[in-house]
Amino acid sequence: MKQRFYIYRRGETFYLQDSRTGKQQSLQTKDRNAALRLLEIKRQTAADPGFNQFILKSCLTTRDPHLATRTWQTVMEQMQTHGKDSTKTRCARAMRSRAFDALCPVKLVETSAEDFLPILTDGKVSVVHYLKRLHNLALGLGWLAFPVLAPRLWPKLRFKSKRGITLAEHQSILAAEKNPERSLFYQLLWEIGSSQSDAARLTAENMDWPTRTLTYFRMKTGEQAQLAISKNMAAILEQLPTTGPLFPKIAATSENDRAAEFWRRCKLLGIEGVSLHSYRYAWAERAKTCGYPERFAQAALGHNSKAVHRAYAKKAHVLIPALDDYERRRPTGAEPVILPMLAVA
């Protein structure tokens, strides 16, 4: 029986040729004995596909004794140790998804595309997102010898469209909310555009009344957010404690409890498609609509990247005046006035 693979020498280097396809490849060796060993491995792999996996396991075990037995459950546990506490909590919650149940016991070295495809086909966008993060983490740690799926085969994530809460919706929520602390909490969210967790953690010490500025560090990223205290914001703050947490009872509840309470309120009012985070989108949309300078909005929202702020404000609708009308409204030769940022030590 004619062998499918054979070797030949070109110059001093040995090459391998597939007699079935005619494909040639360099073995990158000048040693005949080494070339013969590679030829034998190639022939055995073609005769028994499982032999290739056996060779791989043998090589990997030499470098890392646990590499051949490590499962995806280990990768999931490792992911939950990375990032800030809020990130760890989100990862732990995501890893409890039933979509990952079948993948948990699968060994990394035995993983194939067939193990990923059911998750990619039936999983939610968030599940696919975390599966890709698990895959990249395993590659980054050196626990995967090669990618399970090529980058171009991963589906493009299409998250649900998000929107800001409207002024009418905000006012209807305030009218229906009988709890004074929650009502003030929603009013402050409308004024500062923070996340619900950052607002719940605010204290009286975050206010600098001599300079009339509110400064805090975002829980998620650690970035500083700073904005001036307006008349509306000052009216709200005057009704809150002057020392310690601004919202003592709300701060003692969990993020999920606050979100659930807001969801129930919206459901009773027939408001759909919003969450507490919609106050953040609304602030950015309002800022863009009225022409608020983008770098000021970044400082107020606690973002360094322009791309991040634009993502928040993508729903905003700006009425652009005609150039000649705009020119007539301003004195000839006048330059736009930009107020300096307040410096905080």
Are 174 and 187 a contacting pair, CB within 8 Å?
A: yes
The helix/strand/coil state of 77 is helix
Q: Which CATH class is domain 167-323?
A: mainly alpha
Q: Could you tell me which of 258, 197, 188 has the C-alpha nearest to residue 227?
A: 188
* Chain centroid to CA 39: 46
Res 335: pLDDT: 52
Res 345: pLDDT: 32
Report CA-CA distances (Å) from 220 to 65, 120, 125, 225, 288: 37, 28, 21, 12, 23
- With 0-12 / 13-18 / 19 or more C-beta atoms within 10 angstroms meaning exposed / middle / buried, residue 197 is middle
Distance of alpha carbon 90 from alpha carbon 62, whole angstroms: 36
Could you list the pLDDT tens digit for every one of the 345 residues in the chain?
Answer: 577 887 889 888 999 888 888 888 888 888 888 888 888 877 777 766 555 555 555 555 556 667 778 899 999 999 999 887 878 888 999 999 999 999 999 999 889 889 998 888 877 888 999 999 999 999 998 888 789 988 888 888 887 778 899 999 999 999 999 999 999 999 999 999 999 999 999 999 999 999 999 999 998 888 899 999 999 999 999 999 999 999 999 999 999 899 999 999 999 999 999 999 999 999 988 888 888 888 888 888 887 766 566 666 677 776 666 667 656 765 555 555 444 443 333
Domain positions in the chain are 5-47, 72-153, 167-323
Distance of alpha carbon 8 from alpha carbon 103, whole angstroms: 44
- CB contact set of 82 (below 8 Å; sequence gap of 6+): 88, 91, 137
Alpha helices in the chain (DSSP H): 32-47, 49-63, 72-79, 85-95, 113-122, 125-140, 167-176, 180-192, 196-200, 231-237, 248-252, 255-269, 278-289, 294-301, 306-312, 323-329
Are 201 and 251 a contacting pair, CB within 8 Å?
A: yes
Distance of alpha carbon 281 from alpha carbon 163, whole angstroms: 6
The helix/strand/coil state of 216 is strand
Distance of alpha carbon 186 from alpha carbon 193, whole angstroms: 10
The helix/strand/coil state of 143 is coil
- Is the whole-model pTM more than 0.75? no
Torsion sign across C-alpha atoms 103, 108, 110, 114: positive
Distance of alpha carbon 100 from alpha carbon 116, whole angstroms: 10
